[in-house]
């Protein structure tokens, strides 16, 4: 059996960059810590640390051991808070990563089934795809919603599932979206001011390709990374914009927006990415089940 106390000493030595600083942090003798780390190396059958300047560095075997130790002790640091929350029964925490470029309106719709959870503490992080996957692998997040599946990487141990494959519709302010424009869709996009997601969005290349197929050269007056912000500017009269049908439910919260038309053949995908730990999170399981039910209900 692996001695986790020895592993903890090794982890602290690596974090501090040397035995002396680790001894100060742990309030122990340098010789004691050094002996415990040697016991760990003996048990694993490989040298983990090597001299590096005035401190120590990691061997290749040490890098592998440290990566797992980092995961283990990061999890351990969260145990007291989780135990207190579970004992009190007061907090249901859900940490979700939202990848740059996905529709935040659609993400809100996907999270909708758990928003009524008593004492919910929802934490949403927005960031680059790779950064969020790293946070997920370290169990700082319970779930990542992204416009693409996780890459095949056995070291990360992540699973992906496509939750959304939603048709993209176009909306705009009432003063721009009249019957004549709806009758001329999509060719009216050549004449109307158009708002689009930026290149961060997986939807943007699909839209650009659709424009080419339709022979359209839209007059782009604004580009936004945040789909909700895009909808706000549209509601204030700046232009017409695309939004996935799933996210369009949130459009009802903004007065003055009307349906213009539908981009046949253009869809937005959203993938749910989980770690092994996230697969057993009750709120993650609940929203995954609701998304599957809604997806299956749309199938012919």
Residue 300 has pLDDT above 50, yes or no: no
**Minimum mean pLDDT range among 35-39, 59-63, 197-201, 269-273:** 197-201
Topology alike, domains 4-76 and 165-269: no
Please, what CATH class does the domain formed by 4-76 belong to? mainly alpha
Please, what CATH class does the domain formed by 165-269 belong to? alpha beta
Domain positions in the chain: 4-76, 90-159+273-298, 165-269
| 186: preceding bond cis by omega (within 30 degrees) | yes
With tokens 């929802």, the residue in question is 122
| Distance between CA atoms of residues 73 and 76, nearest Å | 5
| Distance between CA atoms of residues 177 and 105, nearest Å | 21
pLDDT digits (tens, 9 = 90+) for 13-69: 999 999 999 999 999 999 999 999 999 999 999 999 998 888 899 999 999 999 999
| Average model confidence (pLDDT) across the chain | 86
pLDDT digits (tens, 9 = 90+) for 122-146: 999 888 888 898 888 888 899 999 8
Q: Is 287 left (phi over 0), alpha (psi -120 to 50) or beta?
A: alpha
pLDDT of residue 299: 45
| DSSP sequence for 233-280 | HHHTTS-BEEEETTGGGGGGGSTTEEEEEEEEEEEEEEEEEEETTGGG
CATH 3.40.190 matches 90-159+273-298: yes
Give strand pairing partners of 23.
Answer: none
Picking from 52, 47, 77, the residue whose alpha carbon sits closest to that of residue 63 is 47
Q: At what angle do helices 19-26 and 4-16 cross, to 10 degrees?
A: 120
């Amino acid at each position: 059996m692996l001695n986790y106390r020895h592993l903890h000493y090794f982890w602290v030595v690596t974090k501090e960059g040397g035995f002396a600083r680790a001894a100060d942090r742990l309030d122990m003798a340098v010789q004691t810590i050094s002996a415990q780390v040697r016991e760990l190396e003996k048990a694993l059958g490989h040298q983990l640390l090597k001299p590096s300047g005035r401190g120590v560095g990691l061997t290749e075997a040490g890098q592998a051991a440290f990566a797992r130790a980092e995961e283990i002790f990061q999890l351990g640091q969260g145990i007291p808070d989780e135990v207190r929350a579970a004992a009190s029964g007061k907090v249901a925490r859900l940490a979700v990563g939202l990848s740059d470029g996905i529709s935040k309106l659609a993400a809100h719709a996907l999270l909708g089934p758990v928003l009524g959870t008593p004492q919910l503490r929802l934490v949403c992080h927005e960031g680059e795809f790779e950064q969020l996957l790293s946070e997920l692998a370290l169990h700082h997040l319970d779930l990542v919603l992204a416009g693409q599946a996780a890459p095949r990487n056995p070291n990360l141990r992540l699973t992906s599932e496509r939750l959304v494959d939603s048709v993209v519709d176009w909306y705009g302010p009432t003063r721009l979206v009249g019957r004549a424009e709806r009758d001329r869709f999509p060719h009216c996009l050549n004449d109307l001011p158009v708002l689009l997601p930026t290149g961060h969005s997986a939807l943007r290349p699909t839209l650009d390709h659709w424009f080419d197929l339709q022979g359209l050269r839209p007059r782009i007056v604004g580009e936004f990374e945040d789909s909700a912000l895009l909808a706000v500017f549209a509601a204030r009269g700046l232009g017409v914009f695309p939004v996935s049908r799933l996210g369009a439910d949130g459009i009802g919260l903004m007065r003055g927006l009307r349906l213009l038309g539908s981009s046949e053949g253009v869809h937005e995908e959203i993938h749910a990415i989980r770690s092994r730990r996230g697969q057993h999170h009750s709120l993650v399981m609940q929203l995954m089940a609701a998304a599957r039910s809604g997806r299956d209900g749309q199938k012919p």
